[in-house]
Structure 1
């Protein structure tokens, strides 16, 4: 599963979704381990308006199941979830490492319903099936 973190320093979740300049993209699995795949930078002024800024950020994380962030506006959250990406709000300055450990603990135990649904959809997708249904908060 790929997870994005709105982070301007690559170490902590310290950015609002609509203002984040970059996202740290990690891959985690049930078996354990987390790997930093890349840091994706968002173009400087994608359209200039709020819609353009949000769409540029959605494009940057579109292959991720979750995006950890400090804040997200209601309309942006709705657009993100329509793309089957779950926004996860965490306190400002939460360490990426800490959030990865928390996710791995959830994956090893009994994940909450919202995470179990994402995992189920990913397994179907990995087996060549279609994903259906949306992810909701």
Structure 2
């Protein structure tokens, strides 16, 4: 019996440092990593490469992560690919440490992401263990 090919992950982010770090972490975990540095390139690669998971930054020049996510979720060849969104706005844990405006802003950002089809969020800078755990969780869910 042949071993399963590595799962393919597409990272779409205009911050090359973030992409490089995430690519390194995920490659060490045995994933095949594809990269794109803007929304247009990311959508093209999602359609042609059909990755198992997409990691998508919210704030990019050109189409935003929200726009990219919505288009990918509405296009039959990519509609079933799980999307993990990256945010610079921070986490929602430790709610007591956040003022009401900041909390509301972060909550709205996530709600908007869920509305366009995101499955999960990770805050930048990306903790390696959190990234790996989220990827494993989403790929496990995807196999069900």
Q: What TM-score results when the alignment is normalised by the length of structure 2?
A: 0.40
Choose between structure 1 and 2: higher strand proportion.
Answer: 1
Q: Which has the higher contact order (CA 8 A, sep 6+)?
A: 1
When the two structures are superposed, what TM-score results if normalisation uses the length of structure 1? 0.41
Larger relative helix fraction: 2
